Structure 1
Amino acid sequence: MLMNVVKSLRNKLIGLIQAINRYPLTMLFLLAAATVNVNMINNETENYLKYLFTFLIGALLSVVAQQVFERFFTKFSERVMLMGGAVVLTAGYFFAIQSASTFNMEIGTKTGVTIFALLMGFIWVPSIKSKITFNESFLSVFKAFFITALFTAVIAGGLSSIVFAVDELLFSLDHKANAHVMNIVYSLFAPIFFLSFTPPYPGRRDAEIKGEELVWQEKKVAKAVDCPKTLEILISYIIIPLTAVYTVILLAYVLLNIRGDFWTNNLLEPMLVTYAITVILVYLLASNLENRFAIVFRRVFPKVLIPIVLFQTIASVLRIGEMGLTHGRYYVIMFGIFAVIAGVIFSFFPIRKNGWIAAVLIIFSAISIIPPIDAFTVSRTNQINLLKSTLSTNGMLENGEVVPNADISTKDKKTITRTVSYLNSMDYIDDIDWLPDKVFHYDNFKNTFGFEEVYDETGHGGDSQFAHLDWDRSPTVNIKNYDRMVHLYFDPYQREKDAEAAIPVEIDNKNYKLKQVSDGEDIYLSIADDKDQELIRFDAKKAFDQILENQTELKGENDSLTVEEATVTEENDAVRMSIVVNNVDYYNSNYNADLYVLIQLK
């Protein structure tokens, strides 16, 4: 038993050393990335993300270059040229992002797409004109990923426990010690361990290999692409039946709502994208299985996938006319087209042709990040044109300047708010001469367009709702009879931190504390005395609901609240408390609020 464990550990160590020898340039890039992480840990104020992602891209490029070399070339000079190409492309990526002041959404998304395309290339290259299919290569990577994740999690947990034990029981360690240890685990061990599972796939060098070495190579490849019995059971008898039930529900919804909600339901879009991804992944994993469940799945589900994704893609395209094209919808539409193509390939071509979907993915990824047809250039142009068109239609754009106009339809107000909000979130406002740089700062939006922001309201139980106080209509707040006024901000992502903090309030030479209290989904404001005795608990959630309802009921020209409509009061025998909401929004089951708390002790 002990000998088997020692032998297994020895084989793993040999595998790690072989992976380092096999991917030397990748190892250099990983060392560089680990060094960058060290600097990021030690200098938290510095931003090294550009360097970190540059080295990550370099590591992936060098891995793909090695795969290409092993599959199609044999000479050392050819390997050097491929590695040189990987270095040049890495440098090109760095200079492409160097001009940006920050690692923003656009750079981050394009980097993510590039990483995804390189991973697809890593899986696809060994199967190009090879006896190894794309499905087998995919299964090998799938197994390697989860084995690596398991080993990495165990090692990371164990080392963290050791660092903690040393710090608590023996001597004090720097508070960053654990971060440095995790850096080694995740930046160096995990990727090299993952690569050690990559078998020596068939390539041009095989003509020079004979005898035992060739047999050993074929056994290693066969082991890597073999589907374990446990995974086969999981796919065939659990995942496929669950996917079937989910498919029936989606089909029923599509058929029942084909003339109604299907074309306007934004919540359905991510569900269908998730469904398409699931079907494609399960199909690839089930491609080499020969049990009845897997065979039925391969014959039926791709054909079901085509109409579902096609309808959803058409619905997404139709929404462009109303809401414009954002980079998110660009990718949803592009993925829809890819899913239809994948469904056709799975339905009408042999399993050995599944590798075509990798080629399509790589091509689509390149299209989505290379100007002028990339997701961000196209969406920026579309949103600016939609904003211009809406402003021009309402006579609000003259001689390159925006003319304020409050007398326009609510639909156009929402369109203007939505497009300006998107352009601002993507940092495109600075490039538009006729919009102020800080358009949402203070009253800039209202001064520019003549009205406050108007967001889509789908009802309080829906996606979002927004209410705000119109200070122009109600410039004063009566605080007579109140002892103190406190400014507060509710942030759902800071709720725990805010709950721990208490705002000291002194009234009549006595000390009190104002706290934010969370109880599940409920949120309260609490006043306690110096003995921590709670005097009142104000139901903030109920107050926000009431104010949002007041906003919903507004009619006529005024679409913002008066002081009275933005105020809610609660009192008991000890305290009278009121809140005056400057603005509150409800989104994704969370409240954000900027408000004033008025306190009167009785």
Structure 2
Amino acid sequence: MSLKEKISHSFNKVSQSIWRFPLSYLFLLFATISNAIYLENSETISERWLICFMAGTLLATVGQMLFERFFAAQKNRRYLLMGLALIATAVFAFLFAPIPIESLRFSVKTAVIVFALILAFIWIPTIQNAQFSFHQSLLAFIKNFFTALLFGVILSLGLLLIHIAISTLLFELDYQLVTHTLNIIWCFVVPLYCIALTPSPDGQQAITVPRFLEVLLKYIIIPITLIYTSILIVYLLINISGSFWTNNLLEPLLVSYAIISFIIYLLSFNLQPNKYISLYQQWFPKVMVPIVLFQTLASILRIETNGLTIGRYFVILFGVFATVAAVIFSLNKEKMHWWSIALLLVMAVISITPPLDAFTMSLNNHEKQLVRLLEKNQMWDGNQITPHAQLDEADAIAITKLALHLDENDYQTDLLGDNFNFYADFEETFGFEPTYFNSNRRTNVVKSVNWNWDQYPTIDIEGFDHFMVLNWYDYIDPIEIEDEKGAFTLESYVNEDKYIVINLTNEAGEEILQFDSQELFEQALEGAEEGLTPEQGIMTVANEALEMKIVAVYLRSTSSAYSGNVYILLNFK
């Protein structure tokens, strides 16, 4: 097929798809107009309409896929499904109208709905369809998505180059023209093209794996996934009896790891089968089961000490799904794959539907923990909070974290009141200031001080023959010193208390003087907020062989290290 024929074929597909998805394209047009208004005046209401129309586009597209899969012979059902899509879009707009668009609740719920609709869009054509499997539909969606994405990138770059050429060579164009052009491309043209490439559920289209993707999956992506999984297994085996249940290293990775692993696993069924691919399909789900199962259990146990946050809710929910899905995949029966997708859709609906949704569950958990702490400290009589200043520090920290979480997520709770503001009302409500860490276990206490050059611009060096500048960190390269008394070497190391120790040795390797910086740090960092004075920043040590003056120009201490810049003056006797 020539380039001209390919372009003509693409335009024919687009024109045909307009009649196939008329409501979807109407929503795309409205979304593009809303975004254009938002770009002109940045009104939040326009941004809200943009999101609403994009959700309507997905609902209308899913409705069309339902019609094509189950009601193709009943033409009137198409208009019924389009009407239901319009009603669902209106319900979406109504339910989300009171929620601030910048809030976590709006972002999370919108993301879950979009995810569920895309998943349904991929899944519906494969339901009870022997000719069209889920892994084929997934491959088709990924191909179409990246084809449309590439199309959009090329078109955007071309138009940007045209804009630059006209503005540079002919006359200046308004930059807003570029913005609105990109809006048309990415809000209308690219989604339109992606939808146009959607195969019909009748399964007549040949779904082939591009050679590039086949090589990528076989020789790069699958091996990397196996290596990464092996690392997780080794980590699990090493830490299963100890820190695995208390640390938080694997929890943030669980959802992304499981999603990517399942996508790769499902895509592998589109490859030409061989021994390597067959072994991967047979054993990989079985290996995944202990990883997702144990991490899900660890996340559940962590609720008692750290609370059920929104993130942990989704980690646990997806962990349950991943465990069940891995078991289903372990049966190695392609016809059962759709059960795992149906389960994921059900869980997505549960996660945003009260009373089992993420926000209600998190609110109830944090309220119960807060009440338990208040009752423990005689601060709750069943109706209101009684302020209490003398509180155990661990409880004060826990109450602070719980109250901050409730306030940050805009929870409406009778416990704190609808108008509670953490920063304005915390001390009055609880009787003590917000407490964020245990003073006995501070992990990042930093102190630093500089020499006061404004008040002491000169340093007395009389009586010393050698001068050097040291950057005082973990290690200082040995410095060779030549003097009429002989050859000497200055070396340093960090002692057990993390302080830097300086050693001076003669050419025979015998120690002639040692200096421990602990006393210097202690006297310099004590009350030197306005800069070091000679009394605070200078120390002199001497013996019968050597006199050494140390001038602290800059010193810094943390809970784990001491560092700085110093001048060293030496006088060999």
C-alpha displacement of 1:404: 3.1
Q: Give, in whole Å, the separation in 2 of the partners of 1:566 and 1:377.
A: 51
CA contact (8 A) 2:99 2:105 kept: no
Asked if 2 retains the 8 angstrom alpha-carbon contact of 1:50 and 1:103, the reply is no
Q: Which residue of 1 aligns with 2:222?
A: 240
Deviations 1:346-367 (A, max 9, x none): 0015112211122111100111
- The equivalent residue for 2:288 is 305
SS in 2 for 1:437: coil
Give runs of aligned pairs for residues 343-354 of structure 1, distance below 5 A. 343-354=326-337
Cα offsets for 1:205-246 (capped at 9, x unmatched)? xxxxxxxxxxxx82xx11xx2112221111111111111111
Aligned equivalents of 1:365 and 1:280: distance in 2?
A: 17
Question: In the aligned structure 2, how far is the partner of 1:286 from the partner of 1:250?
Answer: 21
AA at the equivalent of 1:85: L
- Tell which deviates more after alignment, 44-53 or 230-239: 44-53
What stretches of structure 2 of length at least 5 have no aligned partner?
456-524, 535-552, 555-573
Matched, 1:333 2:316: yes
CA distance in 2, matches of 1:377, 1:564: 50
Following superposition, the deviation at residue 103 of structure 1 comes to 4.5
Match of 1:446 in 2: 427
Deviations 1:410-431 (A, max 9, x none): 3222211211111111112676
Supply the AA of the counterpart residue of 2:430.
F
Cα distance, 1:241–1:466 mapped onto 2, change above 3 Å: same
Whether 1:97 aligns to 2:79 is no
Q: Does 1:260 align with 2:219?
A: no
**1:317 paired residue number:** 300
Aligned match of 2:366: 383
Question: 1:39 maps to which residue?
Answer: 37
- Local SS of the residue matching 2:277: helix
CA distance in structure 2 between the aligned counterparts of 1:435 and 1:567, rounded to whole angstroms: 43
The 5 A counterparts of 1:365-384 are 365-384=348-367
Alpha-carbon deviations, 1:546-598, whole Å to 9, x = none?
Answer: xxxxxxxxxxxxxxxxx9789574799xxxx99xxxxxxxxxxxxxxxxxxxx
1:453 to partner: Cα distance:
2.7
Cα deviation, residue 102, structure 1: 4.0
Residue number in structure 2 paired with 1:228: 210
What is the one-letter code of the residue matched to 1:375?
A: A
| 1:67-117 residue CA offsets vs partner (Å, 9 max, x unmatched) | 011111122211000100110111111111122354521122111101111
Matched, 1:407 2:390: yes
Distance 1:376 1:386 in 2: 15
Give the match's secondary structure for 2:349.
helix
- Structure showing greater Rg: 2
1:596 maps to none
Distance in structure 2 (CA, Å) of the matches to 1:566 and 1:14: 78
Aligned residues of 1:135 and 1:287 also touching (Cα < 8 A): yes
Tell me, in whole angstroms, the C-alpha distance in 2 between the residues paired with 1:565 and 1:318: 46
User: Are 1:76 and 2:75 matched, yes or no?
Assistant: yes
Percent identity (aligned): 38
Q: CA 1:349 to 1:571, structure 2 compared with 1: closer, same or farther past 3 Å?
A: farther
CA distance in 2, matches of 1:459, 1:113: 42
Q: SS in structure 1 opposite 2:325?
A: helix
Distance 1:102 1:142, change over 3 A: closer
Residues 293 and 320, structure 2, Cα contact 8 Å, conserved in 1: yes
TM-score of the pair, normalised by structure 1? 0.71
Change in Cα spacing, 1:403 to 1:165, as seen in structure 2 (3 Å) is farther
Q: Does 1:16 align with 2:37?
A: no
Residues 394 and 438, structure 2, Cα contact 8 Å, conserved in 1: no
Distance in 2, Cα, partners of 1:407 & 1:167: 69
Instruction: Please give the secondary structure, in 1, of the residue aligned with 2:26.
Output: helix
Say which SS state the counterpart of residue 294 (structure 1) adopts.
helix
Rounded Cα–Cα distance in structure 1 between residues aligned with 2:439 and 2:140: 46
Report the equivalent of 2:266: 284
The code of the aligned residue for 2:222 comes to: I
1:303-339 C-alpha deviation (Å, 9 max, x unpaired): 0111110000000000111111112111110000000
- 1:135·1:284 contact (CA, 8 Å) conserved in 2? yes
Q: Which amino acid aligns with 2:112?
A: V
Cα distance in structure 2, aligned partners of 1:259 and 1:196: 53
8 Å CA contact retained: 2:384, 2:415: no
Alignment-derived partner of residue 512 in structure 2? none
CA distance in 2, matches of 1:19, 1:571: 80
TM-score (norm 2): 0.75
Query: Contact (CA 8 Å) 2:122, 2:134: kept in 1 or not?
Result: yes
Q: 1:565 to 1:367 in 2, by over 3 A?
A: farther
8 Å Cα contact 1:345-1:354 kept in structure 2:
yes
Per-residue deviation at 1:432? Answer: 4.4
Query: 1:135 offset after TM fit, Å?
Result: 0.7
Alpha-carbon distance between aligned partners in 1 of 2:33 and 2:302, rounded to the nearest angstrom: 46
Q: Distance in 2 between matches of 1:233 and 1:457?
A: 53
- The corresponding residue for 1:156 is 156
Deviations 1:387-425 (A, max 9, x none): 121111111224633333343333222211211111111
Which residue of 2 is the match for residue 114 of structure 1?
113
SS at match of 2:175: coil
Letter in structure 2 aligned against 1:196: A
One-letter identity of the residue aligned with 1:336: G
Distance of 1:427 and 1:395 partners within structure 2 = 26
Partners of 2:59 and 2:437 lie apart in 1 by 43
The 2-side partners of 1:137 and 1:457 are apart by 53
Q: Which moved more, 1:328-337 or 1:382-391?
A: 382-391
For 1:570 and 1:166, locate their aligned partners in 2 and report how far apart those are by CA, in whole Å.
62
Whether 1:397 aligns to 2:380 is: yes
Alpha-carbon RMSD across the aligned residues, in angstroms, is 3.2
Q: 1:63 aligns with which of 50, 61, 64?
A: 61
Change (3 A) 1:313 1:172: same
Equivalence for 2:134: 134
What is the alpha-carbon distance in structure 1 between the residues aligned to residue 244 and residue 32 of structure 2? 48
- CA distance in structure 2 between the partners assigned to 1:305 and 1:242 by the alignment: 15
CA distance in 2: counterparts of 1:9 and 1:565, whole angstroms: 76
- Structure 1 stretch displaced more, 16-25 or 60-69: 16-25
How big is the shift at 1:434? 4.9
